[in-house]
Structure formats: structure tokens, C-alpha cells
Amino acid sequence: MTQDPHFLLKQYVEDVRHPQVSGFELLDLLSTRSALVEGEVHLSSTERRRLEKADACLLAAASIILAQLSEIAPLPELRRRANVPPSHWWWYLEKLVRAERAAL
């Protein structure tokens, strides 16, 4: 059963505001974002804008989130365990952080 995308969005928007939590909580954040993909078509245009802003917050905190997740296990390992598809970019923060550093 798919979870309510409106609830998931509310949870995701709140969670990305607090990137300095435990790696386990951030793992939940990434899972919530993945669950949102299925219900994204049911979001209003206003909710989609909120999602885009929350994604921007996630990107802005990518280094912090990556550091916290690394306390659990390397992100590639967590990604493998969760069987994450390549389209779920939020699970590839180490690559995004590396690309950002290379661009500087």
C-alpha cells in the first residue's frame, strides 16, 4: 500500500530542516523522499513547489547529511541494502558533494 503523499511531503519538508540529526533519522529522510516518488503525481502544483524547495534544502545540506550517514555505513552500502534505483538522486549525495567540490 502506497503511503499518503501529502503526509510524506509534510514529513520530508520538516525533516530536511534538521540535517544535524542521527544518521538513522537521515536514512528515514532518504526513504521518505523515495516513497514520495510514487505519489508525486498526486501532489498539487503548490505541493510540488514545496517539494522542489525541500530538495534544494537537502542539496544545501548534502555534506552534513553525508557525514551523519557515514557514521552508520558508507552511503554506497546503504544504497545497495535499500536497492535504490539510479533515478533516486538523493541517495547519491557523495557523488553530488564530490561534483560540487570539483566545480570549485
Q: What is the pLDDT of residue 1?
A: 42
pLDDT averaged per 10 residues in sequence order, the chain, 104 residues: 86 95 96 94 96 97 94 94 95 89 75
Query: Hey, what amino acid is at 4?
Result: D
Give the global pTM: 0.91
Q: For residue 62, count other CB atoms closer than 10 A to its CB.
A: 19
- What values do phi and psi take at 22, rounded to 5? -65, 155
23-39 and 45-60 helices, crossing angle to 10°: 150
Q: What is the pLDDT of residue 3?
A: 87
Q: Strand, coil or helix: what is 104?
A: coil
For the record, the C-alpha cell of 44 comes out as 498539487
Q: What is the pLDDT of residue 101?
A: 76
